Chains A and B, each alone.
Chain A
């Protein structure tokens, strides 16, 4: 049975991350992928799609609801195993670290699910990285804005050229062993107090 025969359900309240996972699964040749963000009505979805693998965000409080659901499902193929291979501690740690949890139909071959879980872990991590980078980019932009405002203040108050104002800020930052944005912020704050 090729990998693409597995039915996979992805439950993630974060729409962007969910689509990143979905894309990864499709790239890996999985055709039967369902993505849901809302856990309302999940029982019906599980009943009809009968997933072999369920990937769910570990910070989702509705994991307890899923556990209840699996208790009620009295079919043979109820998904019970949390992780594929309990002895594969490296994978378990990586998954928990990344924030992925998964339910797998009992009896499914380890190798078949391992690749799915590995992919989910790397995509979760990629998403976290993306978020971090976005936050960093945002703060870099903020810093640049402050530096620009400080430059403007120095140019006006001290009659400096833009380049000289920049050099002064950089030199002061180096002398005081601080970040240029911190010096710029002091300039802006001081100007606000003085003017």
Chain B
């Protein structure tokens, strides 16, 4: 399972940060995981956007989110591509090495999907009676029927893969399952599988489905081993995805660099959104230094052209990736609070005043606005899921000011025994 055979000596790929006058390094060591949602960072490094701001991004590919977190915490990385729930978890003191982490920039929206094994999907068609182009919610309800039948027959619970305990994938998979009436902690078994291994794990029968980022869903569907049953857009189009993470003390001591970085990333994100640049972007992403996946598949992923399975069922998802438009990069504190609400919903965290402050403080719109001088017109803590085209799949509305009530309103959740819970803080 040596996925990174290019690294012979552990640690040999870590560049020593270059120090110059003023604020220090103009060469930033950037950790990333090979995924299409690292596009903005890769484009900034490859297509001159960083250079224009006098920065060099030295991109270092890593193999696990735990490594990315630790290498950022221990100053081997200056900034890092991270799952949006990771800095929130760190600020809440969750996980095995929580260390203060903030984000001034989201890397865009979209990119995830849920894929089930073709075997499981066939049973959903038989038992659930769904059509080939059933909606995400219909698919979830059909899976609930299959699971009930499996339970009745005493079959083992299906194993479903996510990428990390504090990941959008974990919360989106759980959201989708729960919307269909499935308890993710009792009716299935959630496990962690590194994204590049998901397709093989599906073939081997080690897992029966997964929720990961692009291009891994499409790789499984094109191989004919999986069937895509929901995309991130079906669950909640605005759902936060990856972010650029940094240590707060580093941001404080390098305000000029942070500002230039945000300007560079904003320009790169704008470029990534334009369809005419997708060929060049796909070529760069496909490179072994980055994602090392077939350029054709990456092109389809960027265009949102989905092969749902290997039988030719297709679906076009407009804005499957939104790198820049509609302030996709704005680090909205309400989104950090939504992540916190899901942590509470699934028993990872408890609701407290302190937690609310810590979670909201993870996202730093002040740094974004200082660099770009712009921001969305709506408030940072407004209702989510009320606009047409941006609703949650189950119709719930998130009020960042009433997290307690929001979490309690879900039919399916698994909070731990809650002690000092104040209602609607």
A: residues with CB less than 8 A from B are: 13, 40, 57-71, 79-83, 89, 92-93, 96-101, 103, 124, 128, 131-132
Contacts and interface: CB of A to CB of B under 8 A. Distances in A.
A99 B63 contact: no
A60 B96 contact: no
A80 B97 CA distance: 7
Given A13-B1, A64-B64, 8 more contacts: A13-B2, A40-B206, A58-B10, A64-B163, A65-B194, A71-B95, A82-B70, A99-B11
Contacts of A81: 96-97
A103 B96 CA distance: 8
Nearest to B206: A40
A63 B64 contact: yes
B76 A67 contact: no
A67 B7 contact: no
A97 to B, nearest CB: 4
Binding site secondary structure of chain B: loop
A98 B194 contact: no
A60 to B, nearest CB: 7
Contacts of B66: 63-64, 66-67, 101
**Shortest beta-carbon contacts, A-B, top 8:** A99-B10, A82-B97, A68-B192, A61-B194, A63-B66, A63-B64, A65-B192, A71-B165
Given A59-B4, A61-B194, A93-B74, A67 B11 contact: no
B86 to A, nearest CB: 10
Nearest to B71: A96
B3 interface: yes
Contacts of B165: 67-68, 71
A96 B66 CA distance: 12
Contacts of A89: 74
B7 A59 contact: yes
Contacts of B71: 96
Interface of B: 1-4, 7-11, 14, 63-67, 70-71, 74, 76, 95-97, 162-165, 191-194, 196-197, 206, 348
Contacts of B2: 13
Nearest to A68: B192
A27 B46 CA distance: 50
Contact of A82 (B7, B64, B96, B348): B96
A71 B2 CA distance: 26
A75 to B, nearest CB: 14
Nearest to A106: B96
B96 A79 contact: yes
21 contacts: A13-B2, A61-B3, A61-B63, A63-B64, A63-B66, A63-B67, A64-B64, A64-B192, A65-B191, A67-B95, A69-B192, A79-B96, A83-B97, A89-B74, A93-B74, A96-B14, A97-B10, A97-B11, A101-B67, A124-B10, A131-B8
A83 to B, nearest CB: 8
Contacts of B196: 61
Contact of B11 (A61, A83, A98): A98
Contacts of A61: 1, 3, 63-64, 194, 196-197
Given A65-B192, A80-B96, A101 B70 contact: yes
A131 B12 CA distance: 14
Given A59-B63, A82-B97, A96-B74, A64 B164 contact: yes
Contacts of B95: 67, 71, 80
B393 to A, nearest CB: 24
B163 to A, nearest CB: 7
Given A96-B74, A131-B8, A62 B348 contact: no
Nearest to A43: B191
Contacts of B164: 64, 67-68
A98 B1 contact: no
A62 B191 contact: no
A62 B63 CA distance: 9
A128 B96 CA distance: 27
Q: Point out which of A65, A79, A93 has the most chain B C-beta atoms below 10 A from its C-beta.
A: A65
A109 to B, nearest CB: 19
A79 B305 CA distance: 43
Q: Point out which of A60, A71, A132 has the most chain B C-beta atoms below 10 A from its C-beta.
A: A71
Contacts of A64: 64-66, 163-164, 192, 194
Nearest to A66: B66
Nearest to A17: B10
A60 B64 CA distance: 8
A194 to B, nearest CB: 38
Contact of B194 (A62, A79, A93, A100): A62
A190 to B, nearest CB: 33
A176 B108 CA distance: 56
